[in-house]
Amino acid sequence: MESIVPYEIRWARPQEWKPAMNVAWDTFLKFEGEDYSAEGIRNFYDFITDDKLYQSFLKGKYQMMVALENGAVVGMASVRNRNHLSLLFVKDTHHRQGIGRALLDTFCRYLKTELGEKSMTVQAAPYALGFYEQIGFHATGPEQQFSGIRVTSMERFL
């Protein structure tokens, strides 16, 4: 779909599911794990390893894009319910290189032009709040906690 040298941004293929979820898990543990209880960490792991989620991806109901460097997944973003950003993770060694922004911008363009969506929403983790604000999201409510996971509801108009 879009390239940022030397990264390729495109729809994920089935064989990229596990590498993408590994990026999500490793990055979550390194940057967000300390903000969550054991319950929250377990719930996040259960979510990304749930076979029902994978089956939804295979059926096209859980859309995911990947950022690739020489064929290896270095970033991933997924959307559920048409316009809700479910996951966005970039390998720690690839932070601050524009990959997260490129994944989101590509998804937002798709949502606007192909699906006619007017906004994207996200439940932002504490670590990611500044990033989301920097790229045009705004908080729509205070931080909440459920099942050991802390998030702030945010929205970005397309």
Angle, helix 17-31 to helix 38-48, in steps of 10 degrees = 170
Q: Is the dihedral of CA 7, 130, 42, 84 positive or negative?
A: negative
pLDDT digits (tens, 9 = 90+) for 83-103: 999 999 999 999 999 999 999
pLDDT confidence of residue 150:
86
pTM (predicted TM-score): 0.92
Name the CATH superfamily housing domain 2-118: Gcn5-related N-acetyltransferase (GNAT) (3.40.630.30)
What is the mean predicted confidence (pLDDT) over 4-8? 72
Residue 3 has pLDDT above 50, yes or no: no
Residue 37 banded pLDDT, cuts 50, 70, 90:
confident
Burial, 51: exposed, middle or buried (Cβ in 10 Å; 0-12, 13-18, 19+)? exposed
Domain boundaries, the chain: 2-118
* Residue 89 near residue 48, CB atoms below 8 Å: no
